Amino acid sequence: MNSISERLKSLGLALGFAQIGIAPAVTPTGFHRLLQWIDNGHSADMQWVERRREAYRHPDGVMPGTRSVIMAAMNYNDGAEPAGGGRVARYAWGSADYHDVLKPRLLKLADLLRSEVPTARTRVVIDTAPLLERDFGRLAGIGWFGKNTMLISRTIGSWFVLGAVLTDVELAYDKPVEQNYCGSCTRCLDACPTDAFPEPGVLDARRCISYLTIELRKEPIPVDLRNGIGEWLFGCDICQDVCPWNRFAPEDTLPEFRHLVSMNPIDCRELLTLSVEEFHARFDSTPLSRPGRAGLLRNAAIVLGNAKDRTAEPELLAALDDEEPLIREAAAWALGELGQ
Ligand code: SF4
Ligand code: SF4
């Protein structure tokens, strides 16, 4: 199956992926770490992880009979360095949701496989199925787990998203990355503003700004963590920004990931004035729809409170009358930070 594997890789690179690797379907070592992580409460409120914990044991949990996992890494770094409040994580700076960019390309890989092996079964996975994608990225030779828990590639750093194609066809497998190239560096651990790493390589999602601003959608953000959020409106890149392996990360990405001025930074004052309809019109096709209007406007109020910018008072005062209690509470907190 060497030649099919090679053809899959060539097609993947031609489709815009930066790295493609192939791993056998096994129980990854990360499965036991995952169980421990859940049992320690570090998965926070992400009940979908806990509910499906057994399914993560083996790719069979996603597609019975899986023998191979094709892992594809898509670089989203275009080298832009915008600054300012209302910051958005780099993967969401472009014009499209990365799921929509990866899916048609992964389907093309699956099509190629089925054209070579007509009986092949395939399943495309991006993020939503219980697959330990980073573990399979390591097994497929793409990178190692940094102390910041990200998968880091020696050639493309960590500014990439992963997708997978599962198949019941046996392919030629890449060598896993066994070495950890972090060395004595602790930059990511030292830079995290909310102390979200209880130890190197372990993330306590309950304290991570990415979790708090994206996944914690229906609850207030704990007050003791709000100042640490600083100017992050959606996600957080700090532990990747400081990583030396990203200094030389390539800057050639697809047009869909190129930085749009309207996507970062985002004017939080203007954001606070968006109606439900305006929010959907502006964000529905982007990752920023994930926390919903209530979650994103709650975040905007916290960013404005942290900025201590008194010119934001009119928008914050108006937000005290919002129909969403989550937004009202955050606006009241922000006004308190402004000395109101
Ligand atoms: S994403 Fe931000 S908050 Fe989360 S661990 Fe990294 S530096 Fe800390
Ligand atoms: S910042 Fe240093 S310790 Fe953290 S992931 Fe990068 S190389 Fe590893």
Q: What is the pLDDT of residue 1?
A: 59
- Tens of pLDDT along the chain (340 residues) come to 569 999 999 999 999 999 999 999 999 999 999 999 999 888 877 888 888 998 999 999 999 999 999 999 999 999 998 888 899 999 999 998 999 999 999 999 999 999 999 999 999 999 889 999 999 999 999 999 999 999 999 999 999 999 999 999 999 999 999 999 999 999 999 999 999 999 999 999 999 999 999 999 999 999 999 999 999 999 999 999 999 999 989 998 999 999 999 999 999 999 999 999 999 999 998 999 999 999 999 999 999 999 998 999 999 999 999 999 999 999 999 999 998 7
Residue 254 within any structural domain of the chain: no
Residue 178 lies in a domain: no
pLDDT the model gives residue 47: 81
Distance 64 CA to ligand 2 centre (A): 36
Contact 188, 239 (CB under 8 A): yes
Domain containing 137: what range?
A: 2-167
CA distance 277 to 282: 9
Domain endpoint, select from 138, 167, 196: 167
Residues 156 and 242 in one domain: no
Give how far Cα 277 sits from Cα of 95, 184, 271, 273, 329, Å: 19, 50, 13, 11, 22
In a domain, 175, yes or no: no
Ligand nearest to the Cα of 196, by number:
1
* 179 half-sphere exposure, CB direction, 13 A CA radius: 5
Query: Is there a single domain that holds both residue 157 and residue 268?
Result: no
Tell me, using a 6 A CB cutoff, whether residue 240 lines ligand 1: no
Q: How far is the CA of 3 from the centre of ligand 2 (A)?
A: 36
Tell the residue nearest (CA) to atom 8 of ligand 1.
192
- The answer to whether the CB of 165 is under 6 A from ligand 1 is no
Distance from the alpha carbon of residue 204 to the mean position of ligand 1, in angstroms: 10
Q: Do 107 and 198 fall within a single domain?
A: no
Whether residue 163 is found in the same domain as residue 193: no
> Are residues 163 and 214 part of one domain?
no
Residue 286 lies in a domain: yes
> Within this chain, do residues 122 and 217 fall inside the same structural domain, yes or no?
no
Q: Residue 172 in contact with residue 164, Cβ under 8 Å?
A: no
Question: Is the same domain home to 59 and 208?
Answer: no
Residue 133 to residues 64, 117, 245: CA-CA distances in angstroms?
A: 17, 24, 20
Find out whether the beta carbon of 192 lies less than 6 Å from any atom of ligand 1.
yes
Ligand 2, CB cutoff 6 Å, lining residues: 146-148, 152, 182, 185-188, 242-245
* pLDDT value for 50: 85
- In terms of Cβ atoms closer than 10 Å to its own Cβ (0-12, 13-18, 19+), residue 95 is middle
Question: 158 and 230 in one domain?
Answer: no
The reply to whether 17 and 152 lie within a common domain is: yes
Asked which of 167, 199, 234 is the last residue of a domain, the reply is: 167
Q: What is the pLDDT of residue 129?
A: 92
Same domain, 199 and 138: no
* Close Cβ partners of 90 (under 8 Å, ≥ 6 residues apart): 76, 77, 159, 237, 240, 264
Same domain, 65 and 128: yes
176 assigned to some structural domain: no
The predicted model scores a pTM of: 0.93
Is residue 231, in this structure, part of any structural domain at all?
A: yes
Which residues form the catalytic set?
Answer: 127
- Which residue owns the Cα nearest ligand 1 atom 4? 208
In a domain, 277, yes or no: yes
On whether residue 146 sits in a domain, the answer given is: yes
Structural domain total, the chain: 2
Same domain for 17 and 70: yes
